[in-house]
Homo-oligomer: A and B are copies of this chain.
Amino acid sequence: MSENKKKFIAVIGGGQCSKEEARLAEVVGRELARQGAVLVCGGLGGVMEAACKGASSEGGITIGILPGDNRHQANPHVQIPIVTGIGYARNIAVVKSAQAVIAVGGSYGTLSEISHALQSGIPVIGLNTWSLSKNGQQDNSIIPAENPTEAVEKALNLAID
């Protein structure tokens, strides 16, 4: 099957993360690969690396869209390193290159990615991540998932064309 018929799903989260977040991300990556999806991420460590490791272990394709100037910045499980040289502006490319996004934990960088995805109409599934409210009103745009398998299922179901 040609790669461009596969679904592209981004996994976002901290470059450093807890063991539990790494575990969740790895299962997400594994499950995405099993379902034939292409994994897009920011290419660095933490959640990104764990997700790539999971996907690679199941023979999935992993794309790492890097902030820096050097392909060797990618974690060892990235098969397709994209070298942008534009720093955190690459966050936008990570989410725009995906048809749905799964956020695992994460800090303000991840929140920026969530924001850019929501702004672009790309569905965001959240695992132990941010929740938002505005003027005291809850914003329910981030779709919660109970576990990695549910996150992947929702991401694949909601993926835009």
Q: Nearest CB to that of A141 among chain B residues?
A: B108
Are B89 and A111 neighbours in the complex by a CB distance under 8 Å?
A: no
Residue A116 at the B interface, CB < 8 A? yes
Instruction: Say which one of A25-33, A132-140, A150-158 lies at the interface with B.
Output: A132-140
Question: Main SS of the interface on chain A?
Answer: mixed
Residue A82 at the B interface, CB < 8 A? yes
A65 to B108, CA, bound (A): 22
Cβ contacts A86-106/B at 8 Å (1 or 0 each): 111100110011010000010
Q: A71-B97, A86-B87, A108-B116 are in contact. List 15 more A-B contacts (CB 8 A).
A: A4-B74, A4-B79, A8-B71, A8-B81, A71-B99, A83-B96, A84-B92, A85-B92, A87-B87, A109-B119, A111-B115, A111-B118, A112-B119, A129-B134, A131-B132
**A interface residues, Cβ below 8 angstroms from B:** 2-4, 8, 38, 61, 63, 65, 69, 71-72, 74, 78-89, 92-93, 96-97, 99, 105, 107-109, 111-112, 114-116, 118-120, 128-136, 141, 161
